[in-house]
Amino acid sequence: MVLTFPDYMRLKLGSSAINMRPGRSDSTVELGQTAAIASFGVDLLGCFLGAFLMLQAMAGGAPYCDRCTRYKKRIAGMEIPLGEETAVEKLEELHDLVRQGEYASVVAYVNELAKAESEASNLKAVTDERVCPGCNESTFTMRVQQRQGNNWKELSDLSFRIESRGGTIG
Protein backbone atom coordinates (compact mmCIF):
# COMPACT_ATOMS: atom_id res chain seq x y z
CA MET A 1 0.00 0.00 0.00
CA VAL A 2 1.31 3.43 -0.96
CA LEU A 3 0.55 6.45 1.22
CA THR A 4 -0.07 9.88 -0.19
CA PHE A 5 2.07 12.70 1.19
CA PRO A 6 -0.80 14.31 3.16
CA ASP A 7 -1.62 10.92 4.75
CA TYR A 8 2.05 10.38 5.62
CA MET A 9 2.31 13.82 7.23
CA ARG A 10 -0.92 13.23 9.19
CA LEU A 11 0.57 9.99 10.57
CA LYS A 12 3.99 11.53 11.19
CA LEU A 13 2.63 14.62 12.94
CA GLY A 14 0.07 12.79 15.04
CA SER A 15 0.69 12.28 18.73
CA SER A 16 3.97 10.58 19.53
CA ALA A 17 6.02 9.43 22.50
CA ILE A 18 9.64 9.97 23.53
CA ASN A 19 11.49 7.46 25.69
CA MET A 20 13.76 9.47 28.01
CA ARG A 21 15.74 6.42 29.19
CA PRO A 22 16.11 3.61 26.65
CA GLY A 23 15.27 0.21 28.05
CA ARG A 24 12.83 1.49 30.67
CA SER A 25 9.14 1.71 29.88
CA ASP A 26 8.33 4.00 32.84
CA SER A 27 10.32 6.92 31.36
CA THR A 28 8.12 7.47 28.29
CA VAL A 29 6.67 10.94 27.73
CA GLU A 30 3.59 11.29 25.54
CA LEU A 31 3.58 14.21 23.11
CA GLY A 32 0.36 15.48 21.66
CA GLN A 33 -0.11 16.55 18.06
CA THR A 34 0.83 20.17 18.83
CA ALA A 35 4.16 19.16 20.41
CA ALA A 36 4.92 16.81 17.49
CA ILE A 37 4.27 19.63 14.98
CA ALA A 38 6.39 22.06 17.03
CA SER A 39 9.24 19.51 17.20
CA PHE A 40 9.01 18.95 13.44
CA GLY A 41 9.09 22.73 12.84
CA VAL A 42 12.17 23.18 15.05
CA ASP A 43 13.93 20.32 13.22
CA LEU A 44 13.06 21.84 9.84
CA LEU A 45 14.24 25.30 10.91
CA GLY A 46 17.51 23.81 12.18
CA CYS A 47 18.09 22.07 8.85
CA PHE A 48 17.53 25.28 6.90
CA LEU A 49 19.76 27.29 9.23
CA GLY A 50 22.54 24.69 9.03
CA ALA A 51 22.36 24.59 5.23
CA PHE A 52 22.41 28.40 5.01
CA LEU A 53 25.44 28.71 7.30
CA MET A 54 27.28 25.98 5.38
CA LEU A 55 26.58 27.78 2.11
CA GLN A 56 27.89 31.04 3.55
CA ALA A 57 31.04 29.37 4.84
CA MET A 58 31.76 27.59 1.56
CA ALA A 59 30.98 30.53 -0.72
CA GLY A 60 32.76 33.06 1.48
CA GLY A 61 36.20 31.77 0.55
CA ALA A 62 35.76 31.92 -3.22
CA PRO A 63 36.14 35.27 -5.01
CA TYR A 64 33.04 36.45 -6.84
CA CYS A 65 32.88 38.34 -10.14
CA ASP A 66 30.22 41.04 -9.83
CA ARG A 67 30.30 41.79 -13.55
CA CYS A 68 29.46 38.20 -14.60
CA THR A 69 27.64 37.23 -11.37
CA ARG A 70 29.71 34.04 -11.09
CA TYR A 71 32.23 32.56 -8.69
CA LYS A 72 35.77 32.43 -9.99
CA LYS A 73 37.27 28.99 -10.68
CA ARG A 74 40.57 27.86 -9.22
CA ILE A 75 43.33 27.48 -11.79
CA ALA A 76 46.43 27.29 -9.59
CA GLY A 77 47.58 27.04 -6.01
CA MET A 78 50.69 26.01 -4.11
CA GLU A 79 52.45 26.02 -0.75
CA ILE A 80 55.83 27.74 -0.71
CA PRO A 81 58.20 27.31 2.25
CA LEU A 82 59.77 30.67 3.14
CA GLY A 83 63.31 30.83 4.45
CA GLU A 84 63.09 32.74 7.74
CA GLU A 85 66.22 34.81 7.10
CA THR A 86 65.03 36.12 3.70
CA ALA A 87 61.24 36.07 4.21
CA VAL A 88 60.89 39.67 5.42
CA GLU A 89 62.86 41.12 2.50
CA LYS A 90 61.02 39.05 -0.12
CA LEU A 91 57.59 39.75 1.37
CA GLU A 92 58.33 43.50 1.43
CA GLU A 93 59.21 43.40 -2.28
CA LEU A 94 56.06 41.42 -2.96
CA HIS A 95 53.86 43.87 -1.03
CA ASP A 96 55.39 46.76 -3.00
CA LEU A 97 54.27 45.08 -6.23
CA VAL A 98 50.80 44.54 -4.77
CA ARG A 99 50.55 48.23 -3.77
CA GLN A 100 51.46 49.18 -7.34
CA GLY A 101 48.66 46.95 -8.63
CA GLU A 102 51.02 44.92 -10.84
CA TYR A 103 49.05 41.67 -11.05
CA ALA A 104 51.29 39.98 -13.62
CA SER A 105 54.43 41.03 -11.74
CA VAL A 106 53.05 39.66 -8.46
CA VAL A 107 52.24 36.27 -10.00
CA ALA A 108 55.65 36.13 -11.72
CA TYR A 109 57.44 37.07 -8.48
CA VAL A 110 55.59 34.39 -6.51
CA ASN A 111 56.44 31.78 -9.18
CA GLU A 112 60.13 32.74 -8.93
CA LEU A 113 59.87 32.58 -5.14
CA ALA A 114 58.46 29.04 -5.43
CA LYS A 115 61.43 27.97 -7.57
CA ALA A 116 64.02 29.57 -5.26
CA GLU A 117 62.75 28.37 -1.87
CA SER A 118 62.84 24.67 -1.16
CA GLU A 119 64.00 23.93 2.40
CA ALA A 120 61.48 23.16 5.13
CA SER A 121 60.69 26.16 7.29
CA ASN A 122 58.43 27.45 10.03
CA LEU A 123 56.97 29.93 7.54
CA LYS A 124 55.04 29.19 4.39
CA ALA A 125 52.99 31.01 1.79
CA VAL A 126 49.77 29.39 0.57
CA THR A 127 48.67 30.77 -2.80
CA ASP A 128 45.41 30.54 -4.69
CA GLU A 129 44.71 31.88 -8.18
CA ARG A 130 41.15 32.02 -9.53
CA VAL A 131 39.74 33.21 -12.85
CA CYS A 132 36.21 34.19 -13.86
CA PRO A 133 35.06 31.89 -16.68
CA GLY A 134 33.05 34.73 -18.22
CA CYS A 135 35.38 37.74 -18.41
CA ASN A 136 38.76 36.19 -17.40
CA GLU A 137 39.23 38.60 -14.49
CA SER A 138 41.73 37.01 -12.08
CA THR A 139 42.16 37.04 -8.32
CA PHE A 140 45.41 35.99 -6.64
CA THR A 141 45.45 35.37 -2.89
CA MET A 142 48.44 34.63 -0.71
CA ARG A 143 48.22 33.70 2.97
CA VAL A 144 51.42 33.66 5.01
CA GLN A 145 51.38 31.09 7.81
CA GLN A 146 53.70 30.33 10.71
CA ARG A 147 54.07 26.96 12.40
CA GLN A 148 52.87 26.80 15.99
CA GLY A 149 53.38 23.31 17.34
CA ASN A 150 51.60 20.93 14.96
CA ASN A 151 49.36 23.64 13.48
CA TRP A 152 49.78 26.62 11.18
CA LYS A 153 48.58 30.10 12.19
CA GLU A 154 47.87 32.73 9.54
CA LEU A 155 49.80 36.00 9.80
CA SER A 156 47.01 38.20 8.48
CA ASP A 157 49.14 41.36 8.28
CA LEU A 158 51.41 39.66 5.69
CA SER A 159 48.62 38.06 3.65
CA PHE A 160 47.15 39.79 0.60
CA ARG A 161 44.67 39.56 -2.26
CA ILE A 162 45.11 41.22 -5.64
CA GLU A 163 42.81 41.32 -8.65
CA SER A 164 43.87 41.74 -12.26
CA ARG A 165 42.02 45.06 -12.36
CA GLY A 166 43.75 46.50 -9.26
CA GLY A 167 45.45 45.44 -6.06
CA THR A 168 44.53 45.47 -2.41
CA ILE A 169 46.43 44.28 0.62
CA GLY A 170 44.63 42.66 3.48
Per-residue DSSP letters for 13-64? TS-EEEESSTT-GGGEEEE-HHHHHHHHHHHHHHHHHHHHHHHHHHHHTS-E
Would you call 145 helix, strand, or coil by DSSP? strand
Task: Clarify whether residues 42 and 69 are in a common domain.
Answer: no
Whether the pLDDT of residue 44 is over 50: the answer is yes
Of 31-45, 53-67, 120-134, which gets the smallest average pLDDT? 53-67
Q: Count Cβ atoms below 10 Å from residue 91 Cβ, excluding itself.
A: 20
Where in the sequence is the domain holding 25, given as residue range(s)? 5-60
The count of domains in the chain is 2
Task: Clarify whether residues 45 and 78 are in a common domain.
Answer: no
Last residue of a domain, one of 17, 37, 60: 60
Q: Residue 95: exposed, middle, or buried by beta-carbon count in 10 A (0-12, 13-18, 19+)?
A: middle
What pLDDT score was predicted for residue 99? 87
Question: What are the percentages of helix, strand and coil residues in the chain, rounded to 5?
Answer: 40, 30, 30
Task: Clarify whether residues 100 and 164 are in a common domain.
Answer: yes
Task: Clarify whether residues 46 and 99 are in a common domain.
Answer: no
User: Per-residue pLDDT tens for 50-80?
Assistant: 999 888 777 666 788 888 888 888 898 888 8
The answer to whether the beta carbons of residues 13 and 37 sit under 8 Å apart is: yes
What percent of the chain stands above pLDDT 70?
Answer: 93
What pLDDT score was predicted for residue 50? 94
User: Per-residue pLDDT tens for 79-105?
Assistant: 888 887 778 888 888 888 888 888 888
What pLDDT score was predicted for residue 94? 87
Task: Clarify whether residues 11 and 85 are in a common domain.
Answer: no
Q: What is the Cα–Cα distance from 109 to 102, expressed in whole angstroms? A: 10
Task: Clarify whether residues 56 and 68 are in a common domain.
Answer: no
